[in-house]
Amino acid sequence: MESKVVRKKPGKLDEQFNLIGYRFKKIGFMLVILLIVGLVIFQVFPVAIKPEHEAVVKPAYLRLFILGLLLIAWSREKEEDERTYLRKVKSLARSFIWIVIIVLFRPLGFVLGQETCTPMAEEVVIIGMLVFQIGMFYFEKYNENEKERSAV
């Protein structure tokens, strides 16, 4: 008896964006929430970390946070359509533009009275962009749902 493999032909937009599955969004949310709760706990109950371990712990924490945000940002929604893809692309473009503007004009704070101007770390820029992208995406999704509800 021969087994047949039936593969669903990917849609045009699936080929362009290569989004990961919806379950990864849940994993990303759990990871981000776990890291935020861990941060709050360590702020309330300070734990002394040896200096030699601190150089490893902070970057690892930030990279796990970035991974969680990336899983949220680049995973599918439960119900996907062309508007969802368009919303994702628009929010990604807007977040990129705003982060570039922030990075470019941040040194002006030094001119306007800040004592020092330290450059932003790469992790901070990436986290800012991902948080902004996720926020813009869900804000647009919420606004669109509100418009549909008020039209009915």
Is the pLDDT at 15 greater than 80? The verdict is: no
pLDDT mean over 34-59: 83
Which residues does 66 contact at the CB level (< 8 Å), separation at least 6?
A: 123, 126, 127, 130
Classify residue 12: in a domain, yes or no.
no
Averaged pLDDT of the chain:
78
Strands (E), the chain: none
Is the pLDDT at 42 greater than 80? The verdict is: yes
Find out whether 131 and 96 touch, Cβ atoms under 8 Å.
Answer: no
Classify residue 128: in a domain, yes or no.
yes
Find out whether 58 and 14 touch, Cβ atoms under 8 Å.
Answer: no
Instruction: Looking at the structure, tell me whether residues 67 and 99 fall in a common domain.
Output: no
Instruction: Looking at the structure, tell me whether residues 95 and 42 fall in a common domain.
Output: no
Classify residue 115: in a domain, yes or no.
yes
Instruction: Looking at the structure, tell me whether residues 145 and 85 fall in a common domain.
Output: yes
Note the pLDDT of residue 20: 76
Count of structural domains, the chain: 2
Classify residue 132: in a domain, yes or no.
yes
Note the pLDDT of residue 5: 41
Rounded (to 5) percent helix, strand, coil in the chain: 70, 0, 25
Q: How many residues does the chain have?
A: 152
Q: Give the lowest-confidence range in 14-18, 24-28, 63-67.
A: 14-18
Q: Give the lowest-confidence range in 41-45, 116-120, 130-134.
A: 116-120
Q: What is the dihedral of CA 52, 54, 55, 56, to 10 degrees?
A: 100
Of 34 and 9, the one with more pLDDT: 34
Instruction: Looking at the structure, tell me whether residues 66 and 90 fall in a common domain.
Output: no
Please write the tens of the pLDDT for every residue from 47-69.
777 878 877 888 888 889 989 99
Instruction: Looking at the structure, tell me whether residues 24 and 62 fall in a common domain.
Output: yes
pLDDT mean over 11-20: 62
Classify residue 34: in a domain, yes or no.
yes
Confidence of residue 101 (pLDDT cuts 50, 70, 90): confident
**151: containing domain:** 79-152
Is the pLDDT at 17 greater than 70? The verdict is: no
Classify residue 7: in a domain, yes or no.
no
Classify residue 11: in a domain, yes or no.
no
Is the pLDDT at 149 greater than 50? The verdict is: yes
